[in-house]
Amino acid sequence: MLWMLFTELLYRPIFNILAIFLAIFGGNLGVAIVLLTITIRLLMVKQTLAGNDMQKGMWALQPKLNAIQEKYKDDPKKLSEETMKVFKTDGKWAFKWCIQMLIQIPVFIGLYYVIRHMAAATIPQEWLYSFFNSFGARFIESDALKNGVINTHFLGMDLLGTKNIALTVIAAVFTYLQTKLTTITKPATPTVPGQKVPDMWKMMWFMNIFLVFMIGSFVYSMKTGVGLYIATTTVFSVAQMSRQYRVLLRAEWLAFISKWKGVVINNPHHK
């Protein structure tokens, strides 16, 4: 029963989307995987933008913290209790960016099993939707790979192989860049009288480093086709976040340049 559920919700949809792109682009599996990834990410744009908006979460918390500080300014114990209560109930905004990764897990699982079945030439006939039979049937034949119906090589990579170092490095580097971009709007951690407030950003630093190594190990150990999906989605994330934070990134860059040149940026009195 569980296997049937996974098949209908994950494996069949992923395979049929790949079949469409395979048919359009001459059976090139690499192009199909890249386009599948971009399609999924485009469908998630709204959710991703909301998850990336880290500063918005702090803006929502700040008025509550200010109100509590004003109300209990003469009662440090109560101020501490109420502030910690706000963090526990409304302070999960810093982890919103993880949601977009969780949404992609079903796609990742579906693609993993499709690639595995494809490598073993054991894709079940029933996976193909009947209305795609006219162009998709040739991609589930046992000799589809042997006869070149499906091209499993992309940019010099064997998508059915493993341990692709170049793709591993790309995925790890862009994952690191993605984690750096999530902290670009880092706010100051508010102080709470009588309590030591955990610095969420320091906690996330360890999580980010762990994530980089985890993604790198996944890409290295799994089929290269699955690694291509992971690498493509991380590149897409960095591009999307760079556009979303382009103003802040420009400000950071100008501040960096001014630091080394010893000049003041946008100072009307500077000549």
pTM equals 0.75
How far apart are the C-alpha atoms of 74 and 266, rounded to whole Å? 42
List the structure tokens of 101: 């990764």
Instruction: Supply the pLDDT for residue 12.
Output: 92
Given a contact cutoff of 8 angstroms between Cβ atoms, the answer to whether 162 and 224 are in contact is: yes
At residue 120, the pLDDT reads 87
Residues for the chain: how many in total? 271
Per-residue pLDDT of the chain in tens (271 residues, 90 and over written 9): 677 887 888 899 999 999 999 999 999 999 999 999 999 888 877 666 655 555 455 555 666 767 777 777 777 777 777 777 766 665 555 455 555 566 678 888 999 999 999 988 888 889 999 999 999 999 998 888 888 899 999 999 999 999 999 999 999 999 999 888 876 655 545 555 555 555 555 666 777 788 899 999 999 999 999 999 999 999 998 998 888 778 777 877 787 787 776 544 454 444 4
Cα separation, 235 vs 144, in Å, equals 30
What is the reported pLDDT for 102? Answer: 67
Cβ atoms 111, 33 nearer than 8 A: yes
Between CA 107 and CA 43 the distance in angstroms is 12
Other C-beta atoms closer than 10 Å to the C-beta of 102 total 9
Cβ neighbours of residue 183 under 8 Å, at least 6 residues apart? 54, 201, 204
